[in-house]
Chain A
């Protein structure tokens, strides 16, 4: 799957989850308080379902969920793996 499509899908999931249309690829989801640890767990579950992948437990940390670009990179790496 192409990077742009991954980013687009993740953006869609997060916008729907947070009811916030202003979120973009670079928005800091952690410092802006948009994602807490429970949100990340819900997001992981939705991403795994959408992309039919399994994100390794040790990759689930605040650093990898800082913004949509970071999350997309994580998803892309799972695909390549």
Chain B
């Protein structure tokens, strides 16, 4: 599905990273593999450091910390906040929505729209589309799009498939109506392959029990319980390689945008190997398709793209030189991409939660 939005802008992005820095090497003793094999993988996949929330820190903690930072530093005025759209797979509670918790903790008025969306690696694109649609009603001033996850809490430390790459974090993007170029989106979903990335137990279908908490070793020597994130790595890899290049190509063609107009490709970052293979296949220089986020911060699901922008985007004076392409792909399965202009981005920063 292709969608076009007019006169929308992202005016600020603040990324909040937990304080606990962990290294890839710290996890090696828990993996059922030789150190030399694990170290080869480190180099190829680009694994290095990640930031992990402590036991009691939740998505609402990271989000409130970030929003208060924006208010304190006068990047945002409380009276301008019309809505909170939170994209997360790790809400504080099943009920109520975490966005309502955030509203309450910030003492925002009761006409603030609060909405939780369960999405992962494509969550930034999905969140932007929802915000833009809401802003089209013209009844809202500024909407805070929050992409936050503390998925490290749902990952087995004995699972080398997921443990070395998952980081935690939250990114707050300030979205508003503003004269701008058209923003082009594409989005697709495939629930038939939802099992590729799944936490089997802990919901209503399979409630948590002693049985679901029991650790089991898989065929490849990774150990996890049904309450942990499980990822079919080879299937996910093939899914990404088969859909991402054609998705971008179709988006560009549909909207008659020359690929040379794109100054950056800010993609979700599961690992460096995938990003390098995508850049090779799409014939795009690694210089404009950054792949450093997974090694610096870990893969924090929907927050990875805004963290990528905060860390790597360099704004240019010429309006057209700020056209970028975003792409997210993962849980659902969901894949989405966008061509947007970041000329209106006045503020971007990465801070540590404390």
Contacts and interface: CB of A to CB of B under 8 A. Distances in A.
Given A36-B220, A58-B241, A62-B234, A41 B273 contact: yes
Contacts of A56: 277, 280-281
A57 to B, nearest CB: 3
B37 A57 contact: no
A3 interface: no
A33 B221 CA distance: 11
Given A41-B273, A42-B44, A60 B237 contact: yes
A27 interface: no
B331 to A, nearest CB: 19
Contacts of A58: 238, 241-242, 281
Interface residues of A, number: 15
A45 B281 CA distance: 16
Given A36-B220, A37-B233, A42 B37 contact: yes
Nearest to B232: A37
Nearest to A61: B238
Interface residue SS majority, chain A = helix
A60 B220 contact: no
Contacts of B251: none
A40 B241 CA distance: 15
A38 interface: yes
Nearest to A38: B41
A37 B234 contact: yes
A54 interface: yes
Interface residues on B, range: 20 to 34
Interface in A21-66: 33, 36-38, 40-42, 45, 54, 56-58, 60-62
A30 B44 CA distance: 21
Contact of B241 (A37, A54, A60): A60
A47 to B, nearest CB: 12
Contacts of B278: 57
B236 to A, nearest CB: 9
Contacts of B281: 56-58
A60 B219 contact: no
B44 A37 contact: no
B280 A57 contact: yes
B40 interface: yes
A33 B219 contact: yes
B28 to A, nearest CB: 14
A80 B268 CA distance: 33
Contacts of B277: 56-57, 60
A60 B277 CA distance: 10
Which of B37, B241, B277 has the most C-beta atoms of chain A within 10 angstroms of its own C-beta?
A: B277
Contact of A38 (B37, B242, B274): B37
A37 to B, nearest CB: 4
A75 to B, nearest CB: 16
B241 A57 contact: yes
A52 to B, nearest CB: 14
Nearest to A33: B219
B45 interface: yes
Given A37-B237, A56-B281, A61-B238, 13 more contacts: A37-B233, A38-B220, A40-B234, A41-B41, A41-B44, A41-B273, A42-B44, A54-B280, A56-B277, A56-B280, A57-B241, A60-B241, A60-B277
Interface of A: 33, 36-38, 40-42, 45, 54, 56-58, 60-62
Interface of B: 33, 37, 40-41, 44-45, 160, 219-220, 233-234, 237-238, 241-242, 273-274, 277-278, 280-281
15 contacts: A33-B219, A37-B237, A38-B33, A41-B45, A42-B41, A42-B44, A45-B40, A56-B280, A57-B241, A57-B277, A57-B278, A57-B281, A58-B242, A60-B237, A60-B277
